[in-house]
Structure 1
Amino acid sequence: MRISDVLEKFDISSEREDYATIHDIVESGIVFKGTNLWILIFAILIASVGLNVNSTAVIIGAMLISPLMGPILGMGYSIATYDFPLLKKAFVNYLFAVVAGLLTSAAYFYITPIYQAHSELLARTQPTIYDVIIALVGGLAGIVAISSKLKGNVIPGVAIATALMPPLCTAGYGLATANWPFFFGALYLLTINTVFIGSATLFTVRLLRYPIRFLANESQKNMANRWVTFIVLLTTVPSIYYGYVLVQKENFTQNANNFIQNESFIEGDYLLKTELDANRKQIRLIYGGKTISEEEKTRLSQRKNIYGLAGVSIIVQQGFSVSEINKELSLSDRYQAEINRLKSELSHNIQQQDSVIKAQKLGGQLYKEIKPLFPEIDYCSASKQSFFVTSGATRNYTVVVLGSNQPVRTNRDLARITQWLKVRMKSDSLKIYIEKTAI
């Protein structure tokens, strides 16, 4: 297949709608009065109820019937064609729609008895660079669909993807409850969607060379382009920062969970609950059982660096019996605590079993490696053992027993074998015995 054939598949000029028809479609979607206004109000109420009861399906239904995207496409289209009277009309109608939506949603959230902020509300309060990407690509899909005779179901899909209604309703919730972080966070997400849907429309219209509908001079064109660039940059910069913060939180959560899964087992204690605070960089481990020693706390603190948690505080809440701390936990937390305990014991038992299996194979591995270097060695055995001394203390050594029919010729040979084993075992705690007996 030739390159020209591939490029032809991406060509949409043959499917393009008549320019006059496109203009009429865009202009008809700008005005909010009569039917459009009532549909907007109904969509706002449906979305508010969906956010209030945390129903994703209801929110999607509201986005499908929302006419809010019309004036946004109109603003991008009018700037691209330098149709400033249409831009003014689209902007005024968009502001009217936003105010109407805010008041409607605020009125609902003011009177509803359910005031708790669920996950669907919280998801619209911290926009990131990923929301910019969604709005930009959604806007491209929207204007391409309007420009085509084969519109299909793209417009409803764009309405769902770019999610204009939920942030507007979330801002209404923030207004009704005087929760200003919610209010401004949701308005920022709405601004992101508005700016980048409009920018995508502007870019596509100019790329497809729509006819200019207003004879603007160069000064007006340059002024319009500068304002668009300024607004796009002003909208993008905070989202990049919030995107960075989101990535840091996700990395913290993943590393912390890996740390807890692999390192939180303490003999005689049960991990009842964990609390992760990405903002403060804290991991709180709540144990039931015996008092945890300072050595164990130090071990946990030292091991955290392996998991990329340098600078993170490990807080151990200790010394509670299971019955005492269960009084402070909900039923779901108790079940989770029991699951954590069983997982920790299982992980610890698996590690012990792996250690035993490795210890059993250690002698064979050493023999395969040492035989080519020291041909006189006929067999090798190795195991970790504890030696008890007079004071009652214990010392742990790895004991290596080597056997050969031939005696080790010189002290130098013995030193070479000993040095090799220390390097191979990465330890100085070795006891090496060489027998003159063959198996």
Structure 2
Amino acid sequence: MGEFIIKMPDVGEGVAEAELVEWHVKPGDPVREDMVLAAVMTDKATVEIPSPVTGTVLWLGAEIGDTVAVKAPLLRIHVAGEGGEVTAAPMPETVSIEAKEEQSPVARVEIPSPVEVKTSAQPAPVARAVVQPPADKPLASPAVRLRAQESGIDLRQVPGTGPARRITHDDLDQFLARGAQPSVTPAGLAMKTTVEEIKVTGLRRRISEKMVLATSRIPHITYVEEIDVTDLEDLRTTMNASRKPDQTKLTILPFLMRALVKTVAEQPGVNATFDDDAGIITRHGAVHIGVATQTPAGLTVPVVRHAEARNIWNCATELVRLAEAARSGSALREELSGSTITITSLGAMGGIATTPIINHPEVAIVGVNKIMTRPMWDGSQFIPRKMMNLSSSFDHRVVDGWDAAAFVQRLKVLLETPALIFIES
């Protein structure tokens, strides 16, 4: 009989360690050759680790959320036959676009894992889960329960003196005689004392690290301005009514994307990234717009590349395609990185104002708040107008307050006079 020791594979890109995000097996489970045993996550990709042999899992070397070094023992498999050294043959890298509801919304790359094998006179003990039974409910007769309910007494607070700690009428009498107050909880309601601990793993950990990096290293300045989007909404409605069957329905975001393209052409310092370690600001000619997107696994930022070369209909089509790919988990690595400026929007839940966190290493992010009809004074009377706030944050090390204000004011002009968006410079 032999024992295989499967080690953490070298996932490439100079990565020395990876986070374990999924176990597909547990001790005692039978496995077959090529069966996926676990998944680990690097910066953008999830790497699946297959089994090179058929056998039984003896031991798992890490828990979900643990960071495991390359070549560290990951699990042991008990197999039939003699021992000996075995190295898994390299497998071609493939990108899977099959979505799983629980997986992170990134490409999954299958990479073989290096394997060692050694003989074992006796199999290693199999770890067994120990399940603690839940606490028993208080034992009492129906009559006692009814009396306790009518008196507002929580039976869990009453010591029982009957057989098997059964609570009797005498126990209720003694409980009240000691001066204990009846429970103020209304009938049918009960206090909850459960506590749930959730380990931060996978994409949620990546989001956490990204937010800490951005807020700890970037001094944010947030500028909020209200925009009258009445004319823009009228134009959007008209364009949607006359769109061709193959054209995607327009939201406000494609208009904002085209307005961003025109604005950063005038203020290239906002369409930039800042390497604060090297002290280098990189201004980008290409406008790669990241769009913060909520997915079942968490927040991702798919990127509409070269927005400067797309018309408004193409921006809308690409935006929908990327959002669907992110939510289904089929987005490719290059579709989730490389943005030069980001838009964030909560749609109808956008609130009055927000304080967006910059997508490091970018220097600006534009936040869209919800559209509301409000009475606005036109000089002689109040008239209903559709108003929306833009909440934009800037890296104050790179963008001065005056430049931030000028940037937003230019966006305001374009969005309030949407015909200007379509005029080529």
What's the TM-score, normalizing by structure 2?
0.20
Higher helix share: 1
Higher strand share: 2
What's the TM-score, normalizing by structure 1?
0.20
Structure with max Cα Rg: 1
Higher RCO, Cα 8 Å, sep 6+: 2
